[in-house]
Amino acid sequence: MTTPYDSTADTLRHSLRVAELMGQPVKELMDRSVHHDLSKTREPERATYDQYVPRLRAAVYGSEEHAELVEAMGEGLRHHHAHNRHHPEHFPRGVHDMTLVDLIEMLADWKAATERTEHADQSGEGDQDERGDLAHTLELNCERFGIAPQLMEILANTARHHGWLGAPPDQES
């Protein structure tokens, strides 16, 4: 007589393997969180960022003024993009060549950037103008980087899940 199959051992092995595999991107995210944008603290980027960040903070993201400032950053910004894969500009095909880890860092970078603008509402209450609004940034960058609607929904869902965006209209209290 055969003993009935008990799936516990197989399930536990599977669970441990999934944990091992999930640990790979988690480790990469942790490494990136420690090293994020450090290239801005060295030349040729530092002088560019010293010159332009104060002006970028005062400009409305997506405006003609903002675009002109970004263009004027020239080689310093190109160097930054070339050495930091959380920017779509790093890749020949932009977002299409990015990994999930790249996308998570990109989204966190976009959120943090909205908090650096001069008129961003840091409290999460009240009206935010376009300068400190992650939803507006997502909308602009969807078009700017050719991000497909499904991926944009995933980015917005992730931001909302972590409290970086308000609740969707049907979930607001």
For the stretch 17-31, pLDDT in tens is 999 999 999 999 999
Residue-wise pLDDT for 76-121, tens only, equals: 999 999 999 999 999 999 999 999 999 999 999 999 999 987 654 4
Determine what percent of the chain is predicted with pLDDT higher than 90. 79
Select from 59, 84, 109 the last residue of a domain.
84
Residues 115 and 147 in one domain: yes
Select from 84, 101, 122 the last residue of a domain.
84
Residue-wise pLDDT for 161-170, tens only, equals: 999 996 555 5
CB distance 137 to 113 below 8 Å? yes
44 occurs within a structural domain:
yes
Domain of 57, in residue numbers: 38-84
Residues 158 and 110 in one domain: yes
47 occurs within a structural domain:
yes
CB distance 45 to 16 below 8 Å? no
1 occurs within a structural domain:
no
In this prediction, residues 139-165 reach a mean pLDDT of 96
111 occurs within a structural domain:
yes
Q: What is this structure's pTM?
A: 0.86
CB distance 52 to 72 below 8 Å? yes
161 occurs within a structural domain:
yes
24 occurs within a structural domain:
no
Residue 160, token pair as written in the block: 């909302």
Determine what percent of the chain is predicted with pLDDT higher than 70. 87
Name the domain count of the chain: 2
Q: Using CA atoms, how far apart are residues 13 and 15, in angstroms rounded to an integer? A: 5
Nearest-10 crossing angle of helices 149-161, 134-144: 160
130 occurs within a structural domain:
yes
Select from 21, 55, 84 the last residue of a domain.
84
Farthest-apart Cα atoms in the chain, separation: 80
